[in-house]
Amino acid sequence: MSKYSCEKCGMEFKQKSHYNQHLSRKTPCIKEAKLKEYIDKAVEEKINVMKQTLQTPELTIAPLTIAPLTIAQLTIAPLTIAPLTIIPAPTFIEVCAGGGGLSCGLMKAGFVPLLLNDNNKDCCETLKKNHPGIKVECASMDTLKLDEYINKVDLLTGGVPCQSFSQAGKRKGLKDPRGELMLKFADMIVILKPKIFMIENVKGLTTHDGGKTLIEIIKLLNKAELYNIEYRVLNSADYSVPQKRERVFIIGTLKTMDIVFNFPLKNSKPILLKHILQNLPESPCAKYSAEKIALFKQIPQGGCWVNLSEEQQKAYLGKSYLSGGGKRGILHRLSMEKPSLTLLCTPSQKQTERCHPLEERPLSVREYARIQTFADDYHFIGGMASQYKQIGNAVPVELARQMGECLKTALLA
């Protein structure tokens, strides 16, 4: 009879040495039947422990039955793609375009120019330089051939000459030859019938002849009674432009299109000169006389002639010293902590000085352009005086862009 039996596999041995040799084997000796018995016993013990812990009756889980899918259920409906709708960019014609502030802003807003017009050679060369491939007509606006643009113009716009309405000028209004161009613009509206027209002009237009001139112009622009017309005076400093510059914008929307136009919202935080008068490209710059430099050295930022001694004031102002009025534009030094005063066509007129905040000199051409929110790579053609004039007469690019965004929204609504 065997004396030794393995508890793992049940084998029996007569000799102890054989039994010991069996126990020391590296290969497991558990047989399948013994292994099943061993596992069943372990599982049963584990279930009993879980039952005691949860104190719940034994759970019976029904087997999960998954119905086989049919071919019909596997059929995928074909993908349908709606045809792509391409909305054409709105078009515009600009007359009296000058150096291109308004047109540049409109193009940034997504407008496509059909025609840009001015009668100044330098302005036209500036437009061609910065907008290659765009049609530029260098001629008086009343000589333009418009037949090819009928029913193709979304926006007709222009900075129709404003000197005749300026508060600083003689204010002859429509009787001035330059004021007659407003009549030509009205004729263009009748011919082209744009969906919207826009005129930019000086704030003085709203007060000229007690406001009667503005009423007369609006009647003139709407002589066919095709448009709803509104106007508003905007200060560029309220629209991310580092300059206090008030201009009136007259907007006419075609009645049959039922267009709703909203002016841009004001920005809460102004852009100051300290934000933009740095890291500028080199450019031409006008100069002051030695006498004026000596006076400006005594004037702080934001100050003017009133900061001089009374003797110096009388000597510099002459007869105008007793003329009354603020005259704060005389010997005025700009401040880094404020937007610029309105830039003019020349940087060093005695009545409207715009001295650099930190240096005794006028603003340079590129400083003028930066304040008018032109990009640094926007090039102006012509001599230094011509470049100053082009920039000083321009609509600030950023204001034009924001107006353009509102015009585009109105057209595409």
Report, as residue numbers or ranges, the catalytic residues.
162
- DSSP class of residue 168 equals T
Please, are residues 407 and 266 in contact by the beta-carbon 8 Å criterion? no
**CA nearest neighbour of 99 among 282, 343, 285, 406:** 343
Name the residue among 299, 289, 294 with its Cα closest to residue 350.
289
DSSP 359-413: SSSBPPHHHHHHHTT--TT----S-HHHHHHHHHHSPPHHHHHHHHHHHHHHHH-
**Residue 171, Cβ neighbours under 10 Å: how many?**
19
Could you tell me where the DSSP H helices lie in 56-109? Answer: 101-108
Cα separation, 195 vs 225, whole angstroms: 13
Cα-to-chain-centroid distance, residue 326: 36
Residue 31 corresponds to which tokens in the numbers above? 């047989």
Contact of 224 with 254, CB cutoff 8 Å: no
Cα angle at 147 between 154 and 397, to 5 degrees?
40
Three-class SS state of 13: strand
Residue 78 buriedness (CB in 10 A; 0-12 / 13-18 / 19+) = exposed
Residue type, 253: T
Residue found by looking up tokens 């000596």 in the block: 294
